[in-house]
A and B are shown apart, each in its own frame.
Chain A
């Protein structure tokens, strides 16, 4: 049944026991976004240093898809380079919109793969993307506020 493709065990597990739920006291990135479609809210707090996401947490409530997506996201990006985080967000977006994302498949990342079913439910793509959109906007704000010295990012391409 298509529903089981959407509500996979991994999602349900993350929904029941969300990882990294809460608010970081020492965050230097903090952003709240609403899903305009349903009013669900997410508050994302991160500590970013030297181009790495050192720590991350999310707060708020929402549907299975949005909560599981936020939980999985925080697990994935903790300790990751900011540039890599952006790439992953791209891939995730492609996955939930089209059902295809070469990079995700190549990595055999079951947690991300579990969201493939969302593509069959176009009205739910926004739910899956809420945390990631918040993340990207938060990182962008952060970069505007703390631009890297030019030397540390010679290509500038990841900006």
Chain B
């Protein structure tokens, strides 16, 4: 297990948070001082508009930005830095694929395949695309353990869908999908695959080349990086087919009165002044994770998750959702008739922050037959003690609400 990491995160030493047990990293992680310092240093020493000035300061800003891109590329093992497009977040990245690629490639009547596990971010853009293009949205369901029904996927693949969008890790159930296998099968059927890595990149080693993703998206803020920076990985084979979504400065190579030409990838997708400090902060987060090692991070998360699942299972009237094995560090549950909202308010009084609600995955909730679940998620700064405090809190909640529920 990783130890002593909590002190690297200033939020936990702030007076208001001394006693905080933060179990909502699946929503957003906290940032180590290194990330905050890197962003401060950029603003304090190297701030300028990249790609635009002929002076040395602007050159330094450009170097920071492009170095961050190269760092992201190496982190997910992309073949080239040009495959990395900076966005605001995973959501924007999915929309870029929908508007920039799918709008130009999906024909009326064609099938778009998604899964029931998807976060709204990787679902609603495809619903809208289907409406715009007259395409047909179809689903791969999950079974009672939260695993995708691969038999159903095979059936669906026979319908020759144009595109498959799926998450690598479910934020609502903790399912880890076998994306490499799925992509291999999809490619055999000629299907382009979009992978949502928002919940996987923070927690495990990701290799976009070995998984063969066509497109891959994630958010900086869930992996210790700043808010407001995200990533769209677009495999080079799709660069010619990917069209700009936003138009304006920086994304052009030349502008005439009635016609403009686009810059090269990835810059043609990055219109306007970008969040350079965000990219710099993300690079610092990647350095931080790299020094610890993603294997060590995964091991740590796994230990916490296993401990939590063991302890949770012992609670009377607990309902655990999702897979029983190979569970990501995000656990959805309910206890008896206590509404997750009431549970979260109760735990908050004891300094324990969990999530309650539909987790932006209303299709999952619908399938489970609940309006909401409670959700605890872990990351590298959490400890076994945090898990134990959660369990104590849940026992106390059962006592408090138990009298009348």
Q: Which of A's residues lie within 8 Å of B, judged by CB?
A: 1-3, 6-7, 12, 15-16, 37-41, 61-65, 121, 123-124, 127
- Whether, in the assembled complex, B371 has its beta carbon less than 8 Å from a beta carbon of chain A, the answer is yes
Known A-B contacts A16-B404, A38-B372, A40-B371; the reply to A121 vs B345 at CB < 8 A is yes
A3 & B400 in contact (Cβ 8 Å cutoff): yes
Cβ-defined partner of A39 (8 Å) among B346, B349, B372, B400: B372
Type the 1/0 row for B346-367, where 1 means its CB is closer than 8 Å to any CB of A. 1001000000111000100100
Q: Which residues of A contact B371 (CB under 8 A)?
A: 38-41, 61-62
Cα separation A12 to B349 with both chains bound (whole Å): 19
Q: Which residues of B contact A65 (CB under 8 A)?
A: 341-342
**B contacts with A, residue count (CB < 8 A):** 16
Cα separation A16 to B402 with both chains bound (whole Å): 12
Cα separation A39 to B341 with both chains bound (whole Å): 11
Known A-B contacts A38-B356, A40-B372; the reply to A1 vs B341 at CB < 8 A is no
Known A-B contacts A12-B404, A39-B362, A41-B371; the reply to A127 vs B341 at CB < 8 A is yes
- Whether, in the assembled complex, B340 has its beta carbon less than 8 Å from a beta carbon of chain A, the answer is yes
Cβ-defined partner of B341 (8 Å) among A3, A16, A41, A124: A124
Known A-B contacts A37-B357, A39-B365, A40-B372; the reply to A62 vs B345 at CB < 8 A is no
Q: Which residues of A contact B372 (CB under 8 A)?
A: 38-40
Type the 1/0 row for B331-342, where 1 means its CB is closer than 8 Å to any CB of A. 000000001111
Tell which of B340, B356, B357, B371 has the most Cβ of chain A within 10 Å.
Answer: B371
Cα separation A66 to B138 with both chains bound (whole Å): 35
Q: Which of B's residues lie within 8 Å of A, judged by CB?
A: 339-342, 345-346, 349, 356-358, 362, 365, 371-372, 400, 404
- 26 A–B pairs (Cβ distance < 8 Å), ordered by A: A3-B349, A3-B400, A6-B345, A15-B404, A38-B340, A38-B356, A38-B357, A38-B358, A39-B358, A39-B362, A39-B371, A39-B372, A40-B341, A40-B372, A61-B371, A62-B339, A62-B341, A63-B339, A63-B340, A63-B341, A63-B342, A64-B339, A64-B342, A121-B345, A123-B345, A124-B341
Cα separation A127 to B356 with both chains bound (whole Å): 13
Q: Which residues of A contact B362 (CB under 8 A)?
A: 39
Q: Which residues of A contact B340 (CB under 8 A)?
A: 38, 63
Q: Which residues of B contact A121 (CB under 8 A)?
A: 345
Cα separation A15 to B337 with both chains bound (whole Å): 12
Q: How far is the CB of B118 from chain A (nearest CB, A)?
A: 16
Cα separation A65 to B345 with both chains bound (whole Å): 11
Q: Which residues of B contact A12 (CB under 8 A)?
A: 404
Cα separation A1 to B396 with both chains bound (whole Å): 14
